[in-house]
Chains A and B, each alone.
Chain A
Amino acid sequence: MSDSSQALATHELRHHFEDMEQQRDASSMGMWVFLITEIMFFGGMFMAYLLYRYEYFVAWQEGSQHMNFWIGTINTAVLICSSLTMVLAVLAIQQGRRRLTSVMLAATVCFAIAFMVLKGMEYHEHWLAHEFPGSAFHFAGIDTRHVEMFFVLYFVMTGFHALHVLIGIGLVSSMLYMNERGHFSADYHNPIENVGLYWHFVDLVWIYLYPLLYLIGHHHVG
């Protein structure tokens, strides 16, 4: 370790930690504790989805056929790409390459915005098709009430996921800003790592939402 990075490391080390390694491990464990609460938050909605799918199997098949398969699939790919750029941003700052870190963080934000735009187009489509639950809900088919319930869960689950994407855009952007201000280095980058963990978690939720919402009824139309 060079003298300057040693000085920086000492400066970034909070007094209640022994060394940088302990600080990093503690911060990542803290982030995981938060992510566990997020798993339970989304877990409740997955539980509701699972139970109602079991009870109203036909309605769930019907509802799933009205998903936009292509937007769902492209959005899955977009989020996977954003996860790659996020992890490359973490790698870049571990190696002390600030410029590359900024580029990768910016790329992550771009992918996230692309996801939101596609999601917005999809919501708009459902809105025009009277598939938004409520008094204007209209569905030509059997078991309309429970298809509406499928759409309630669709909007709640993807809505909360989209909210997490929006928060992610804010977090990654602030990392980009702080990195440009020279806050991070090869020795100190816990915030970028933790935002990375958060972002991969958002990707993880979508990895399960995609088959459950878009794929379970798809073969009937394909």
Chain B
Amino acid sequence: MEKIISAKVYFTVWAALMCLTVTTAAVSYVDLGQFSIVVALLIASIKGSLVVLFFMHVKYLNVKTTLLVILAGFFWLAILLLMTMTDYITRAWS
């Protein structure tokens, strides 16, 4: 049967997303040097995970095959980003 998640969960996730948005905007006023993008992307990833897990119902999937499809997609994205950057960053080393 389809899992019905209570509205309370959605409102909590929404509040968390709003708080994280305020946090990341506030942190951008502080000069963290190289780490500012790390912190910004870390907060974005927490927000993204909340959206995917709760709003997109990935936490409550019935079928594990769908999870496999989703993970495969993000895995290919990781290949695209990580392997290309590994190439470019190490070119100057020779």
Contact residue among B2, B7, B52, B73 (Cβ-Cβ distance under 8 Å from A21): B2
Most buried by A among B21, B69, B81: B21
Interface size class of B (residues with CB under 8 A): 35 or more
Q: How far is the CA of A43 from the CA of B83 in the complex (A)?
A: 13
- A interface, over-half SS: helix
Chain B residues near A36 (CB, 8 Å)?
Answer: 69-70, 72-73, 76
* Complex: A40 Cα to B5 Cα, angstroms: 30
Complex A-B, nearest 4 residue pairs according to Cβ-Cβ distance, in ascending order: A36-B73, A211-B40, A222-B29, A218-B28
Q: Choose among B7, B62, B81 the residue that contacts A25 (Cβ–Cβ < 8 A).
A: B62
B87: nearest chain-A partner, CB-CB: A51
Please, how many angstroms separate the alpha-carbon atoms of A176 and B15 in the complex? 26
**Interface membership of chain B positions 4-27, coded 1 if the CB is closer than 8 angstroms to chain A and 0 otherwise:** 110100110010011001001100
Q: B2 touching A24 by the CB < 8 A rule?
A: yes
A177 CB-CB contact with B under 8 Å:
no
Pairwise interchain contact B18-A80, C-beta atoms closer than 8 A: yes
Asked if residues B77 and A40 are in contact (CB atoms below 8 Å), the reply is: yes
Which residue numbers of A lie inside 8 Å of B, CB to CB? Answer: 21, 24-25, 28-29, 32-33, 35-36, 39-40, 43-44, 46-47, 50-51, 54-55, 69, 73, 76-77, 80-81, 83-84, 86-88, 91, 94-95, 196-197, 200-201, 203-204, 207-208, 210-212, 214-216, 218-220, 222
| In-complex Cβ contact of B14 among A29, A40, A43, A80 (8 A) | A80
Distance A87 CA – B66 CA, assembled complex (angstroms) = 19
Chain B residues within 8 Å of A214, by CB: 28
Query: Among the interface residues A25, A77, A83, A208, which one has the most CB atoms of the partner chain B within 10 A?
Result: A83
A204 near B52 with CB under 8 A, answer yes
Q: A88-B7, A211-B37 provided; 12 other pairs, C-beta below 8 A?
A: A21-B1, A35-B73, A39-B73, A39-B77, A40-B77, A43-B77, A43-B80, A47-B84, A73-B21, A91-B10, A222-B28, A222-B29
A172 CA to B36 CA in the complex, in Å?
A: 36
**A215: contacting residue among B28, B48, B85, CB under 8 A:** B28
Q: Among the interface residues A95, A211, A216, which one has the most CB atoms of the partner chain B within 10 A?
A: A211
Cβ contacts under 8 Å, B69 to chain A: 29, 32-33, 36
